[in-house]
A and B are shown apart, each in its own frame.
Chain A
Amino acid sequence: MTQDGRNVNIPGTGSTGYFGFEVNPRAGYVLSLGNRFQVTPLAGFSLEWWRRDLTGGLQIRNPDGSTATINAGGYVKSYTAFFLQGGVRAGYTVSRDLRLNAMLSLKVPLFISENVDETREGKGEHTLNSAISPRLGLELGASFHRFNSALTFDRWTLAQSPDRRVVQNGQTLVVHQPDSTRTLLGFKVGYAL
């Protein structure tokens, strides 16, 4: 959630819906190092947009042990980030059909925008811009014939955004997006058509 100057938090649990997409156009050059080893330096851009839906409300626990749903209107955040990216892909050919693959990438955001839509709660919309910080990606896998699989890792901290004044219910608040760290661990399976 966005953070304002008030330090009183009511803890609660709920669920967050995610929907997003990412586009990574890039180009590189394959270098052969010996019979079986190839290294490909790559460079390009990356665009990611995602929607973070917090409209489900929060379950809080009252002092008497009962639970209640609050903040039922909730809000929706939409993030847009545009990156420069560079990286290197390595491949080791074990046999005619088996190949080991690895990729390391670094993405540097040029632009990060976070749109906070709280109109469900009558608080309007505002936009925050997290500070620039790099994003690291790592992929380790293998391909057999045309099938491939990989373990993927991606970590990115969106650094705290500058403060922004927002009027909510006639009250002026100073809000920001705090340091937010996203960690992705994945298992990918694919097929080359």
Chain B
Amino acid sequence: MTSRRIVAALAVVSLFAVPELADASPSSPQGSARSRRATPRQHPASATAPATDRPFDLDVSTTLRHFSWTETRQDGSQFVNESGMLFVIGATPKLSLGRERRIVVETGLEMYFGSVGYNGGVQA
């Protein structure tokens, strides 16, 4: 008698824990088919959907960058002003880990170079 109660309680709890089983009523052919296959829901917005389609990405990029450098005296006046364009090349390998690929591990790498105008002076 006690074991029947336990089995019945587990069956009720399982309906909440595994929602797919709740849909698997005998009157619903679709539901019974889903319960036989026991496939998880694949809605993109569901909490169990992968966060990304790809476990590994390598993003390569170029950047045209306006660079500005100013040096300021203690009295607040600027005495060096550099500005101009620099060229940047970059790569970011990115791993998406875990069952749902929600853990991201990446390393952004950038190299830049160029020449900018200098407007300043020398101390004498």
Contacts and interface: CB of A to CB of B under 8 A. Distances in A.
A18 B82 CA distance: 11
Nearest to A155: B68
B17 interface: no
Contacts, number: 185
A26 B106 contact: yes
Interface residues of B, number: 56
Nearest to B44: A35
- Chain A interface size, under 10 / 10 to 19 / 20 to 34 / 35 or more: 35 or more
B121 to A, nearest CB: 4
Interface stretch (B21-29, B32-40, B110-118): B110-118
B104 A40 contact: yes
Interface string A51-80: 000100010100000000011000000000
A82 to B, nearest CB: 15
A174 to B, nearest CB: 12
Given A1-B80, A191-B60, A24 B107 contact: yes
B110 A29 contact: no
Contacts of B57: 192-193
A53 to B, nearest CB: 9
A180 B115 contact: no
Contacts of A192: 57-59
26 contacts: A9-B121, A10-B122, A10-B123, A10-B124, A13-B117, A15-B118, A21-B109, A22-B112, A24-B107, A28-B104, A29-B104, A30-B51, A30-B102, A35-B44, A60-B121, A160-B74, A179-B72, A180-B70, A181-B69, A182-B67, A187-B63, A188-B63, A190-B60, A190-B62, A191-B60, A193-B57
Interface of A: 1, 3-4, 6-32, 34-36, 38, 40, 42, 50, 54, 58, 60, 70-71, 148, 152, 160, 177-193
Interface of B: 44-45, 47, 49, 51-52, 57-74, 79-80, 82, 84, 86, 88, 90, 96, 101-124
